[in-house]
């Protein structure tokens, strides 16, 4: 694309309205989307009660991931509409779909009331949310960028980048407020529904604001001249000159950005609550505080990208994150749950199993059962945050686990009736729980031993990595594609990166931990993806900050 130079000027009232209106609606969509992730443990008990607690939590994470898996399809559907009929009306539709789906989750009867229909409807609603979000982001980012002065696109679109974090922060605050108001027991029973139900008020405000917005001037001009694309999908992905840019945008930018984003916010929360056994209220407060401290840096890095370039900041964030994740998460354990750190060092655990009996417990469809004696014991230990090593046992033998002086035999659930399997599970769980307690593994983090200041500092560092990779990404994606197919072209790599690479991170990380026996082993997933993005981005992705986004129109 050609380069242009535009004199810097102050922001106008109309531009402020564009940024505010686009950002507020997008905050609401992220709020809706992340309520589920923040309440995954409770939702597991409400809607997947037909399985054991560990499997229920995995299924809840997979239902969470389902919303991410369909996001690229939402990008295709709504991206096509956005490039054909306009930005404004397309993301007005997406916010309605998101809002109604979220409200219905708050009304949905649980497994105890309607059985298997409950998780089926829940996952269907998650899919609708994912489709809506797939159409939302590209529209909001494109709309703002097409209103922005050439030399301030990074600064303007960075406000859109704050919305995901602000949406997460808002969801955590509403959850915390409801928890405090009704109490933990009531919240687990019915209070969790309140954050979903109050979203209807946010929906009303967001729709009203979006109805008052005007169409993007770039799109309005192009439509008046009859230059809009008649087939944005085939133009975007059927022509190699554009398709190769889409592929580079995915591998060389958004894949790494996504895993850094989800590691720094969602995986950090899961790690605190599920691995380090920090109580939910404390973990949410610490995450929320780190978001408050870190959020202004979205704007800082977005503005900085207008001066020094987008690429160096995004790839720099990916590289620094990949190099420091292991020491940061080790430090989180040290400061959040030192008793767990001590137990891992002083009480080695060994799983003896036939390697052929052990599977990699990754199950994106939620349909596969892990019933072998090896899989059962590994899932149990991973859920209890117990590090273990693996020893090879004779072929065909039943897996055992040595915890301290105790040796506990697992069982093969595939050869048992449902009642027999339940009885074995109860006895096995009790034996393992007793052994790991004697070995010094804590069932929960001790607040008196927690150094909250250091935990907050570490979480804030993770959020700063997020702001580096995420702050400039919208401007860079917008600048890579022409106006006539911009909504479609930028939305797909963004949502494949964030929906698939990012959304599957918790499930993949848990499977890696269960496979290896190391509570930190799941970090290899974001580290490898981030490093691949650094290499591909450095070699093949061009800087875009000086691109004229209308040159090819």
| Model confidence pLDDT, tens digit, residues 181-201 | 998 889 989 999 999 998 888
Alpha helices in 229-309, H assignment, sequence order: 232-237, 240-249, 255-262, 268-270, 280-294, 296-308
- Whether residue 549 lies inside any domain: the answer is no
411/520 same-domain check: no
| Mean pLDDT along residues 287-314 | 93
pLDDT, greater one: 54 or 309: 309
241/381 same-domain check: no
pLDDT at 6: 43
136/209 same-domain check: yes
284/377 same-domain check: no
Cα 355 from chain centre? 32
Please report, rounded to a whole number, the percentage of residues in the chain having pLDDT higher than 70.
90
- Whether residue 90 lies inside any domain: the answer is yes
Cα 191 from chain centre? 24
pLDDT, greater one: 388 or 361: 388
* DSSP secondary structure letters along 410-450: ---GGGS-HHHHHHHHHHHHHHHHHHHHHTT--SS--GGG-
Query: What are the CA-CA distances from residue 403 to residues 225, 328, 357, 520 (Å)?
Result: 74, 28, 20, 20
413/459 same-domain check: no
Percent helix, strand and coil across the chain, each to the nearest 5: 75, 5, 20
| Range of the structural domain that residue 377 is part of | 342-438
Query: What are the CA-CA distances from residue 371 to residues 50, 85, 359, 426 (Å)?
Result: 16, 51, 10, 15
Give which of 104, 78, 53, 527 is closest to 322, Cα–Cα: 527
pLDDT in tens, 52-102: 565 666 666 667 667 777 888 888 888 888 787 777 778 788 888 888 888
- Whether residue 1 lies inside any domain: the answer is no
CATH number of the domain that residue 389 is part of: 3.40.30
pLDDT of 3 strictly over 50: no
pLDDT of 531 strictly over 90: yes
């Amino acid at each position: 694309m050609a380069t242009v130079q535009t004199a810097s000027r102050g922001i106008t009232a109309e531009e402020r309205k564009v940024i505010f209106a686009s950002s507020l609606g997008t905050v609401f969509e992220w709020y809706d989307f992340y309520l589920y992730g923040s309440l995954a443990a409770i939702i597991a008990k409400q809607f997947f009660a037909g399985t054991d607690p560990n499997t229920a939590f995995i299924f809840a994470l997979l239902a969470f991931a389902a919303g991410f898996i369909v996001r690229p399809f939402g990008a295709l559907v709504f991206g096509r509409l956005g490039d054909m009929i306009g930005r404004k009306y397309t993301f007005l539709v997406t916010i309605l779909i998101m809002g109604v789906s979220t409200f219905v989750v708050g009304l949905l009867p649980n497994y105890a009331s309607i059985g298997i229909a409950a998780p089926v409807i829940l996952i269907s609603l998650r899919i609708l949310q994912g489709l809506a979000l797939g159409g939302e982001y590209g529209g909001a980012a494109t709309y703002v960028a097409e209103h922005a002065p050439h030399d301030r696109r990074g600064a303007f679109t960075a406000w859109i980048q704050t919305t995901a974090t602000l949406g997460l922060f808002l969801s955590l605050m509403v959850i915390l407020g409801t928890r405090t108001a009704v109490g933990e027991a009531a919240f687990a029973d019915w209070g969790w529904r309140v954050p979903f139900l109050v979203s209807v008020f946010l929906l009303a405000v967001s729709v009203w604001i979006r109805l008052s917005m005007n169409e993007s001037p770039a799109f309005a001009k192009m439509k008046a001249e009859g230059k809009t694309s008649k087939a944005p999908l085939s133009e975007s992905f059927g022509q190699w000159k554009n398709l190769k840019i889409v592929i580079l945008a995915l591998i060389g930018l958004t894949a790494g950005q996504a895993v850094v984003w989800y590691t720094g916010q969602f995986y950090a929360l899961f790690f605190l609550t599920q691995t380090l056994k920090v109580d939910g209220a404390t973990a949410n407060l610490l995450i929320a505080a780190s978001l408050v401290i870190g959020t202004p840096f979205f704007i800082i890095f977005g503005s900085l990208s207008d001066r020094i370039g987008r690429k160096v900041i995004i790839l720099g964030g990916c590289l620094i994150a990949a190099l420091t994740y292991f020491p940061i998460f080790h430090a989180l354990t040290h400061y959040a749950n030192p008793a767990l750190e001590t137990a891992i060092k002083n009480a080695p655990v060994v799983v003896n199993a036939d390697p052929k009996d052990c599977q990699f417990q990754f199950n994106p469809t939620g349909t596969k059962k892990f019933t072998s004696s090896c899989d059962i014991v590994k899932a149990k230990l991973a859920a209890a945050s117990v590090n273990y090593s693996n020893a090879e046992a004779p072929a065909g033998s039943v897996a055992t686990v040595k915890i301290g002086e105790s040796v506990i035999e697992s069982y093969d659930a595939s050869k048992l009736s449902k009642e027999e399997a339940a009885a074995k599970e109860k006895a096995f769980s009790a034996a393992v729980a007793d052994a790991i307690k004697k070995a010094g593994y804590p069932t929960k983090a001790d607040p008196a031993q927690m150094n909250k200041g250091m935990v907050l500092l570490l979480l804030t560092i993770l959020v700063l990595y997020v702001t580096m990779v995420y702050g400039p990404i919208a401007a860079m994606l917008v600048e890579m594609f022409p106006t006539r197919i911009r909504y479609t072209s930028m939305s797909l790599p963004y949502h494949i990166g964030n929906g698939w690479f990012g959304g599957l991170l918790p499930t993949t990380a848990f499977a890696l931990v269960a496979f290896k026996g190391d509570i930190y082993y799941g970090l290899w997933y974001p580290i490898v993806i981030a490093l691949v993005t650094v290499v591909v981005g450095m070699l093949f992705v061009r800087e875009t900050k000086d691109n004229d986004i209308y040159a090819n129109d």
